[in-house]
């Protein structure tokens, strides 16, 4: 397998380590090796981005609530 990895790396212009990692990930994705699949990894990445956006939205709403709570309401005028 090492010769094949070396040949593919040379052909694609990448390092042998990159090809080795691609091969290992392909084995995880097809279930012949344990680990986090590409699909699972993409889902975690998507969820982390969504979580970050929701935290930012919550912070904006929290600040807006504080701002509007400090203003006199229509009854106070």
d(CA 72, CA 77): 7
pLDDT value at 77 more than 70 = no
Banded model confidence at residue 53, pLDDT cuts 50, 70, 90: very high
Q: Count CB atoms within 10 A of the CB of residue 19.
A: 19
pLDDT over 70 at 48, yes or no: yes
Q: What is the mean pLDDT of the chain?
A: 93
Half-sphere exposure of 48 (CA within 13 A, CB side): 6
Q: How much helix, strand and coil, in percent to the nearest 5, is found in the chain?
A: 80, 0, 20
| Residue 72 confidence (pLDDT) above 90 | no
Based on DSSP, count helices (H) and strands (E) in the chain, helices before strands: 3, 0
pTM confidence score? 0.67
């Amino acid at each position: 397998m090492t010769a094949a990895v070396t040949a593919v790396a040379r052909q694609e212009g990448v390092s042998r380590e990159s090809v080795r990692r691609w091969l290992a990930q392909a084995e995880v994705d097809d279930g012949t090796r344990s680990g986090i699949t590409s699909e699972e990894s993409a889902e975690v990445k998507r969820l982390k981005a969504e979580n970050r956006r929701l935290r930012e939205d919550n912070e904006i709403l929290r600040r807006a609530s504080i701002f509007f709570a400090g203003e006199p309401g229509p009854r106070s005028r």
